[in-house]
Amino acid sequence: MTNAFAALAEPMRRDIVERLAGQPMAVGELAAHLPVTRPAVSQHLKILKDAGLVRDEARGTRRVYSIDPAGLAAIRTWLDRHWEKALAAYVEQVEREEKE
């Protein structure tokens, strides 16, 4: 995983992820519903794949892409970790101020 957050930074790539979450699709099928050309979609998919967010499966000449739950789970782990840490720091801060 190079950088899942950077992969999801682009609105176009989030749109792609949302569409794939609803239903696995091929590259051309995605491009048909998006305002960019097929190569652009292909490049986005490459980035999403490197980030571990999507998977691809050869299906004849077509290439069907689908969501990789592991990628989303990795982000969630990061969030949870730091969210809890922030809460702990906040509690500690409050306790420190109460002693004053």
Neighbours of 35 (CB within 10 A): 8
**Residue type (1 letter), 69:** P
CB nearer DNA, residue 22 or residue 35: 35
- Interface with a second copy, residue 6, by CB under 8 A: yes
Q: Which residues of the shown chain bind DNA in the complex (CB under 7 A)?
A: 6, 9-10, 12-13, 26-29, 35-40, 42-47, 56, 58, 60-63
CB nearer DNA, residue 56 or residue 72: 56
Buried b (16+ CB within 10 A) or exposed e, 65-74: bebbeebbeb
**Cα-Cα end-to-end distance for the chain:** 46
CA dist., res. 11 & res. 27, Å (int): 17
**Binders of a second copy in range 29-88 (CB under 8 A):** 66-67, 69, 72-73, 75-76, 79-80, 82-83, 85-87
Strand partners, 65: 25, 56
| Residue numbers at the binding site for a second copy (CB under 8 A) | 3, 5-6, 8-11, 14, 17-18, 20-24, 66-67, 69, 72-73, 75-76, 79-80, 82-83, 85-87, 89-90, 93
